[in-house]
Amino acid sequence: MEVIKKKVGELEVSVWSNRLESGAAAGRDTADRIKKLIEEKGEARVVFAAAPSQNESLEYLKNSDVDWTKVRAFHLDEYVDLRADHPARFGTFLRRALFDHVSFKQIHFLYQEGLEAEEMVKQYSALLAQYPPDLMLLGVGESGHLAFNDPAVADFDDPEVVKVVELDEICRMQQVNDGCFGSLDEVPMRAMTITLGGLKRIPQHVTVVPGIRKADAVKAMLTGPITAECPASMLRTSSGGKLYLDRDSASLAFDL
């Protein structure tokens, strides 16, 4: 059941009773947006987030009636210093959750074995310029980060579209909390990410943020100043997206 529906700045916010409901609602919204883009443009270009927060919405999409043969897929971010077959790779996560279950028009992975990080960044930036995305699926990190744009490297007006970044300890520890790694020492120090400047160019987004561990970040992004110290606060300036929360993640931002 939807508990709250309101606008915060330009951002539509929807709070649901639990994680399953909020994720399914985000999945329905995403499917509807993709189908409308296909109807209007002949194809949809979608950037996917890879995180446990996306599980319920990706499960919905996997079983939806979207014509995936008309969808070109990208993803937000990826580790640099991690072996190609490591199960924690974000490309691998998306394969397991969605990419291996439906037939996309094309899937563009950030990581390319045998290339240096700078060359991967260059190639992905060129792909995003060639096929400008219509829609992005987002999560919000415990530090308020979007993709791997941690506060220390976040820049709302970043001129780069994709870049290599150093990951802060909060972000790396979140990967442990999410069960992706056994300890902090196992989490890579570097990653590639679409920048905040790059994300601002994408006209639509569906953001889903479940769970009590995200409550502080949600409060900061919705009630604090719009600043790169909380990168997700940028979403309050976007009129093309919607944020899906559950009671736990919304508990500090709203009187439920």
* pLDDT one-digit tens code per residue, 133-182: 999 999 999 999 999 999 999 999 999 999 999 888 888 888 888 888 88
Every domain of the chain and the residues it spans: 2-250
- 176-182 long-range contacts, CB within 8 A, separation 24+: 177/142, 177/213, 178/51, 178/52, 179/52, 180/88, 181/88
Q: Tell whether pTM > 0.75.
A: yes
- pLDDT, residue 110, reads 95
- pLDDT, residue 54, reads 97
* pLDDT one-digit tens code per residue, 2-35: 999 999 999 999 999 999 999 999 999 999 999 9
Which amino acid type is present at position 32?
Answer: D
- pLDDT, residue 232, reads 98
CATH number at 2-250: 3.40.50.1360
Give me the residue label for tokens 């490591």. 86
